[in-house]
Amino acid sequence: MDKLKFYIDGGWVDPVAPSPLGVVNPATEETFARISLGSAADVDRAVTAARRAFVTYSSTSVAQRLGWLARIIDGFRARLPELARTMTLEMGAPITFATERQATVALFHFEEAARVLADFPFEERMGVGIVRHEPIGVCGLITPWNWPLNQVASKVAPAIATGCTVVVKPSEIAPLSAMLLAEIMHDAGLPSGVFNLVNGDGPDVGEAIAAHPDIDMVSFTGSTAAGIKVAKLAADTVKRVAQELGGKSANIILDDADTRAAVISGVHACNTNAGQNCQSPTRMLVHHSQREVAFQAAQAAIASIRLGDPLDPATTMGPLVSQTQFDKVQGLIQAGIDEGAMLVAGGPGRPAELNHGYYVRPTVFGDVTPQMRIAREEIFGPVLSIIGYDTEDEAIDIANDTPFGLAGFVQSKDPERARRVANRIRAGRVYLNGATFDRSLPFGGYKQSGNGREFGVFGFREYLEVKAVLG
């Protein structure tokens, strides 16, 4: 599965200076593929191609772009099993989850971009003039490893739908599914230079994209620390920056909720994708009177999780993505113990039945206080903190006591009460009573969880400039 070339200007090209990197299967800890790490010179080549392509692609008709999107969607559907299996190998998502969620949700973004494009008002009369929405230009797209194809698609789909051209840097840890997407783009007949892909790490390729004077916009998904670096590098050329960063989402289970059912669903939500989600509800707020019910429900939920070979359809949780991530999560589990939280389920070390792979025991802490590290830091692993509260106001204060603001969750038998609480949570998205994913609604954060929005018409508008024509 060696993929040593980059996709630039409509074809596969060799890096300027070859620098191979192994891709590790986190379930086996074995290298199963190689890519090349790029450089600023490779970024220059990709940006030059994208800039040249933008001149004509930005003037294509809606019907033309819908045609390319339709062919991309068809190609994606045809290769969906291959895309899912690739993500299982490169980042450890169980094959059932990789098929039903990782790959399928990525496809949704292309379908949604086509839906929005078909009816989008690129020109609107306003007052004595016309307001035009025009593609912003060349877009640098920097994506993470936890949802490797979904995050690429959530940026690429609206960018090319609006008439922009792109330079994509997928995570070097899980790059292979994005390279398959490049093949789909090529087979769909997208004009040369519209879609370009350069592999590499953050310091060499990511920073070159963020600082490049001929890139008009950077869309970045990743850690808050890396997002700050991207924004600083982009500032010198005053380019638009859209960021989807870290999270520490609170799940408020109000005292009128079915606590057992809410806790069980909350535990599973926290452990989705082995907890490697920016919006995971990792802080569960439970009324003090429901402490024992919550602990017992959490133990039952953890007991139902099946860890194992991610290629086994019965597996519900795979490994973490890397040794680095494994070590980080283990350190924070130990910090929870050291700071006096009660270990309700799980704990440090690998599961007893697994002697290789970056597997972590799904862990629940109880009696967590808001100032503990496990309650404040984004762990990015299957670790849940249960925090007690006495009043609704106290629960909301705890939920908002974080530098992050990506998502929130509220559980209550009273829909109006849940809505009132949701309105007071400082986050970009709030789920009420187990609400499911909706690809048309905006996704993004408050505070240090980022700026800008993805998905649907809000994600579409991120890639457009606004021009007023008067007279």
Q: Which of 278, 378, 454, 462 is flagged as catalytic?
A: 278
Indicate the burial class of 11 (C-beta count within 10 angstroms; 0-12, 13-18, 19 or more): exposed
The torsion region of residue 439 among left (phi > 0), alpha (psi -120 to 50) and beta comes to alpha
Buried b or exposed e, range 50-61, using 16+ CB within 10 angstroms: bbebbeebbebe
What is the DSSP track for 30-64?
A: EEEEEEE---HHHHHHHHHHHHHHHHHHTT--HHH
Q: Tell me if 250 sits within 8 A of 409, measured CB to CB.
A: yes
Q: Tell me if 6 sits within 8 A of 198, measured CB to CB.
A: yes
Amino acid (1-letter code) at residue 439: R
Q: Tell me if 106 sits within 8 A of 150, measured CB to CB.
A: yes
Dmax over CA atoms of the chain, in Å, equals: 74
Distance CA 150, CA 178 (A): 9
278 is catalytic: yes
Distance CA 153, CA 105 (A): 9
Reported as half-sphere exposure (CB side, CA atoms, 13 A), residue 108 has a value of: 18
244 is catalytic: yes
- Nearest one of 107, 100, 85, 67 to 27, comparing CA atoms: 85
Reported as half-sphere exposure (CB side, CA atoms, 13 A), residue 134 has a value of: 13
Distance CA 198, CA 88 (A): 22
- Nearest one of 279, 285, 283, 280 to 442, comparing CA atoms: 279
Q: Which of 172, 244, 378, 454 is flagged as catalytic?
A: 244
**Cα dist from 399 to 18, 105, 227, 376, whole Å:** 48, 28, 23, 11
- Nearest one of 203, 190, 200 to 169, comparing CA atoms: 200
Active site residues: 244, 278
